[in-house]
Amino acid sequence: MQVRESLEREVETCLERQLPDVDLREVSLVGPEHSATLRVVIDHPDGVDHGICEQVTRALQSVGLNDHYGIEVWSPGPEPPLRTRDHFEQARGHRVALRVDDDGRRRSRAGVLESLTTEGVRLQTASGVIEVPFSAIRRARDRDGGHTC
């Protein structure tokens, strides 16, 4: 987990410095450790096209990330990832899907994002309102939002 968090901070810092209009949505490593691919999901106010993906790839290469990983840059697609508090704010009132760590067990939660608290999110689910702390969320998607390529 620490490798992913460190890598996420490195990518975030790189993009903030070189391409501040790019919104980092998700960072993941795909494949075996010795030949992993760094997959970066981004968004941009003008949309994500080949040119933006190329700029992001070059920015990541400029800080040496291609020395350790293959690099893939993706658009957010029809169900954009939710990574930051701002992303969750933008998804208020939308159907969301969460993968959470519940006492060491991975679980899925889905519902309408009702509100944010200082510690997490409140979801309206089929069985009622639940609160999920940000610290437990491992992955989140906005099922009602996003862009298509």
For residue 58, the model assigns a pLDDT of 98
Q: What is the pLDDT of residue 1?
A: 55
As a residue count, the chain comes to 149
**Residue spans of alpha helices (H) in the chain:** 2-18, 50-62, 85-90
CA-based angle 54:60:62, to the nearest 5?
100
Q: Rounded to two decimals, what is the model's pTM?
A: 0.86
pLDDT, position 149: 37
Long-range contacts from 2-11, C-beta under 8 angstroms, 24+ separation: 3/29, 4/28, 4/29, 7/38, 10/63, 10/65, 11/38, 11/40, 11/60, 11/65
pLDDT of residue 34: 83
Q: Which residues contact 64 (CB under 8 A, 6 or more apart)?
A: none
pLDDT recorded at residue 104:
82
pLDDT profile of the chain (149 residues), mean per 10: 84 98 96 92 96 98 96 95 96 97 90 97 96 95 71
pLDDT of residue 146: 56
